[in-house]
């Protein structure tokens, strides 16, 4: 009896989850219309939710304060969330000014030249 009730409630919950998707899909939003028609627009709501969840995890892992995470995510479009998901550790992160980089780089170049280290073997 309890099992049937659980199944019934779950079914109703899933059906309710289903309806808004149908209503929203019918009106074509401006972002969808304005986006580059060459892009394959994957509008799956499930995919967007997954991306959102992944970005949330990544932000926390990368040191964002929990109290800031939701607001940061809320201001990103679905397409941006999809771009970020899985890439936040590799994408360009603007941070350092040249001076520090340049000196480190030059020092390493010199050390390489005198044979102390062998760091540039990846260069063609």
Question: If you write DSSP's letter for every residue of 35-83 in order, what string do you get?
Answer: S-TTS-----HHHHHHHHHHHHHHHHHTT--HHHHHHHHHTS-HHHHHH
Contact with another protein (CB under 8 A): which of 32, 49, 70, 86?
Answer: 32
Nearer to another protein, 1 or 96 (CB): 96
- Burial (0-12, 13-18, 19+ Cβ within 10 Å), 99: exposed
Q: For residues 78 and 12, what is the distance between their CA atoms, to the nearest angstrom?
A: 27
Nearest approach, Cβ of residue 49 and another protein (Å)? 15
35 binds another protein (CB under 8 A): yes
The binding site for another protein (CB under 8 A) comprises 22, 25-35, 37, 40-41, 43, 59, 61-65, 68, 71-72, 74-78, 80, 83-84, 88-89, 91-99, 101-102, 104-105, 109, 112-115, 119-120, 122-123
């Amino acid at each position: 009896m309890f099992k049937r009730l659980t199944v019934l409630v779950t079914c109703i919950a899933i059906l309710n989850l289903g309806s808004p998707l149908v209503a929203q899909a019918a009106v074509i939003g401006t972002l969808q219309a304005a986006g580059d028609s060459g892009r394959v627009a994957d509008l799956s709501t499930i995919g967007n939710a997954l991306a959102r969840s992944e970005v949330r995890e990544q932000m926390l892992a990368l040191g964002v304060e929990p109290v800031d995470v939701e607001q940061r995510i809320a201001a990103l479009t679905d397409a941006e969330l999809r771009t970020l998901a899985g890439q936040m550790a590799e994408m360009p992160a603007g941070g350092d000014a040249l001076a520090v980089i340049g000196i480190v780089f030059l020092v390493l170049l010199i050390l390489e030249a005198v044979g102390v280290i062998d760091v540039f073997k990846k260069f063609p």
